[in-house]
Amino acid sequence: MKSFEGQTALITGATSAIGQAIAAALAGRSATLGLIGRNRPALRSLAEGFGQRAFCYQADLAVDGDIQNLTRQIQEDFDRVDIVVHNAGVISTGRVENASVEDFDVQYRINVRAPYLFTKILLPLLKSSRGQIVFINSSLWLNARSGVAQYAASKYALKAIADSLREEVNADGIRVLSVFPGRTAGPMQEALYASNRTPYEPHRLLQPDDIATAVIAALAMARTAEVTDISIRLLQRPSDRGD
């Protein structure tokens, strides 16, 4: 598969399950990484596995000042940005009558406002490199079930941003991809299963590497084409259905 040598890739939520998988896949194809997250020790530990091509940036994406400082540091460290992967996200569950507006505000700031602002600031660098932007969304954006109204609304908004942005920046040579994974094994799903008091069986879920494989394939595609949306769901095997 295509090498990304000479390209710089920024990944938010880099220490999460999907973030780590995408970072590892890009590092394995010689990209230089900017790993972004809230947990500095976890970022450093992750970066150590990628050698000198990985840089760490601690930031809370719910705080505008952190985003401004982050982008300022990135502009100092890199003269180009080729790939931005918006992977950071949070989820709070609860029925509309019980869920707090404060939880809704946090999900809006991290799941919607942060990727919007981060992209807005980085667009000059992305235009100069004819870069690529990836929004890791969720399969819930289209089929919201009970208890996830706030989260699903934030992901619906994120898709709208990606679709509108694509129409604006394609002429500059920038490609925009939205990825809609189903339930993927990792700490977020583990916490959700625990809150629902149901057994967490990660082998029955999508794996982070599944998502990373799809993302890398889209990023590596020849510039004659653009993948706009990828929906990824678990393959239902006979054993899963109880047959």
Q: What's the rounded Cα separation, in Å, for the pair 15 and 11?
A: 9
Does a structural domain hold residue 1?
Answer: no
**Which pLDDT score is estimated for 116?**
97
Is the pLDDT confidence value at 201 over 70? yes
Does a structural domain hold residue 237?
Answer: no
Q: How confident is the model at residue 2 (pLDDT cuts 50, 70, 90)?
A: confident
Does a structural domain hold residue 92?
Answer: yes
Average pLDDT over residues 4-19: 97
Range of the domain at 179: 8-232
Q: Is the dihedral of CA 217, 220, 222, 228 positive or negative?
A: positive
Does a structural domain hold residue 239?
Answer: no
CB count within 10 Å of CB 198 equals: 9
Instruction: Take residue 35 and report the two structure tokens written for it.
Output: 């790993």
Please give the model's pTM, rounded to 2 decimal places: 0.93
Q: How confident is the model at residue 46 (pLDDT cuts 50, 70, 90)?
A: very high
Beta bridge partners of 178: 135, 229
Backbone φ, ψ for residue 82 (5° rounding):
-105, -30
Does a structural domain hold residue 89?
Answer: yes
Does a structural domain hold residue 240?
Answer: no
Average pLDDT over residues 227-232: 97
**Which pLDDT score is estimated for 236?**
78
Is the pLDDT confidence value at 242 over 60? no
Does a structural domain hold residue 25?
Answer: yes
Does a structural domain hold residue 242?
Answer: no
The domain tally of the chain equals 1
What CATH number is associated with residue 96?
Answer: 3.40.50.720
**Which pLDDT score is estimated for 130?**
98
Q: pLDDT tens for residues 134-161?
A: 999 999 887 888 999 999 999 999 999 9
